[in-house]
Amino acid sequence: MKNLTIGDFLENEEIIKLIDFTLLKHEKKDDELEKFLLKAKKFRPKAICIFPEDIPSAKEILGSSIPIAAVVGGFPKGSSNCEEIVKEIRTAIELGADEIDIVLEPREEEDYPNELELEKLVAMREASEGKILKVIIETPLLTERKVRAVTRMSLAVGVDFVKTCTGKRGECKEIDADILSYELMRHELTFGECLGMKISGGISDKVKLMRFIELIRKNDSEIINGKRLRVGSSSLIENLITIE
């Protein structure tokens, strides 16, 4: 990918290189998974995002050509049990997952996030054994204060990507992308560590995506060049193909 500056409009193939191409259905039609994997093989997104049960089929069709992100620990709601979280992460890695996507379940209590979330984040980081870890914080369910607090806690623990939401309990909003990218910039300035973010939840067309990207790059101009931005979508690739 070429080096980009704020104001550049990404080409379709450049956007595809940001996408975690997603199929998250336990109940699928007979050939649905195969068609999804063959489409991934053809268009080569950044990664595919699937349940652990689908990893063997993905390995059979894709080999090691495209990273596999496994969604574990409950979806769309996150597990409250640290032992269960650790077990599912380790099982996914044993099956061949290269990356882990996992929900950090929000709470309505005013003290969220506290030591309960810290314990889960540490367990996630340790169990992922150095694999790329993307923690979903479910921004549609959180106030701005809580979004900032849980993002800072996640970055402090050392997650590789903070992800906006699953899309199952509300869509990603521009303010969410602005907050997360600001917190990434703040973390880099404070600790000298460059981490990433993933936006997902209702991002299905190029125009909408570019609005998000422009907001993000105003806070973190090198996020794309640094390969620290991901886009989670099940339909964006199809929509990019139709407008070529």
The topology (CATH level 3) of 12-242 is TIM Barrel (3.20.20)
Tally of CB atoms within 10 A around 13? 12
Taking only the tens place, the pLDDT of each residue in 136-169 is 999 999 999 999 999 999 999 999 999 999 999 9
Spatial CA neighbour of 197 closest among 216, 215, 214, 221: 216
Residue positions annotated with a catalytic role: 101, 163, 198
* CB 223, CB 5: distance < 8 Å: no
Q: Which contacts of 119-124 are long-range, i.e. CB under 8 A and separated by 24 or more positions?
A: 119/82, 120/78, 120/82, 120/85, 121/153, 121/154, 121/157, 121/159, 122/157, 123/82, 123/85, 123/86, 124/73, 124/85, 124/89, 124/100, 124/157, 124/159
* CB 3, CB 225: distance < 8 Å: yes
Report the interhelical angle of 82-95 vs 115-127 (nearest 10°).
20
The rounded distance, in Å, linking the Cα atoms of 171 and 76 is 13
Q: What is the mean pLDDT of the chain?
A: 94
Taking only the tens place, the pLDDT of each residue in 57-79 is 999 999 999 999 999 998 999 99
Determine the pLDDT at residue 238. Answer: 85
Record the pTM. Answer: 0.94
Rg (CA), the chain: 17
The rounded distance, in Å, linking the Cα atoms of 221 and 94 is 36
For the chain, percent of residues with pLDDT exceeding 70: 95
**Domain limits, the chain:** 12-242
